[in-house]
A and B are shown apart, each in its own frame.
Chain A
């Protein structure tokens, strides 16, 4: 059990220690899906939802594994649970909201290999968060991830209208932008401790 309060954990995960810009988790979708706002926002929400499910599953699983002294199986168990959670989300979406399912397309199964999702599960275990704290942590992480994606997408949409030298275009430019955003987020340092 960690002594931090719930609001501290939420703010820290969302802003001060933003998963993408301060902890470097989930960079692949951050750079891959952030070219346009209409893919960035749904992707952020879908990832946030999977983070929430994964965090809850991981909490229960950790209790179970600790009970039988099987901690060495933790990593394998987590990754299998996350893969199944993504599959579950995919099936639910396909049945109840086919339009959104088609809009997300290939990005949905790729959430499995998003290190931000596994990161939530691993960090909450390492910091010994209680159930409510884990909940606040995963919600904060999801909110922070969505925020970073949306910010990046809006900057990149504007950049398409400006005259960028050819050699800088592509991943190098995105990384420099991410560096500037990350610097801005450092202004939150101290918030939520």
Chain B
């Protein structure tokens, strides 16, 4: 019995990291995913900030799931999420001004990241706090991995560096377009193409992006 519940918990956790990865499978939250991933550091910072908001919001939503009337639930979720985003915004500003300036308004735009509202509505409002947090943590880590995959590739190709460390020596001609806006679209498109090819090889039907249609 104990094994079974452990396996289920592990499943809740892994769902966001692999099977339902928010970046590569569900293609959600693309606005921050593309806008801030010009370098690996920015990508990780954004991923951690989003994970924090996701876990805290899902915990609170799950605790309040029996108190909130159905009609005003979306408004309640948004106010909860906005509160935690404000916290993150001020924390990042206090910890690293450099990072704060690099991420800019995109920290505050975590509010409208559809992953968070989607998780609150689809999962946290129907499950007890522990399960909701585990699922949210998995989703957050999955999102961070996705961002890192984008930011890492863009930094390596566009600047020849990873975490600011030069990889190819002085003769490397950086592929500048990769750190410019079009590069973001190309790299995410290429990753999706790779996953679609793998899925086709294994005979799994292609994933259909649900977009942000949560509300």
Contact = CB atoms under 8 A, between A and B. Distances in A.
B44 interface: no
Contacts of B164: none
Contacts, number: 133
B137 interface: no
Interface residues of A, number: 46
B196 interface: yes
Contact of A24 (B79, B86, B184, B193): B184
Name the prevailing secondary structure of the A interface residues.
Answer: helix
Contacts of B79: 76, 79-80
A72 B108 CA distance: 11
A175 B185 CA distance: 5
A42 interface: no
Given A32-B212, A119-B109, A182-B182, A171 B192 contact: yes
Contact of A75 (B89, B181, B188): B89
Name the prevailing secondary structure of the B interface residues.
Answer: helix
Interface stretch (A3-11, A44-52, A110-118, A135-143): A110-118
A30 to B, nearest CB: 9
Interface string B117-156: 1000000000000000000000000000000000000000
Given A122-B108, A168-B193, 9 more contacts: A24-B32, A24-B184, A31-B30, A76-B82, A109-B215, A113-B117, A126-B104, A170-B192, A175-B189
Closest A-B pairs by Cβ, 3 of them: A179-B185, A175-B189, A28-B212
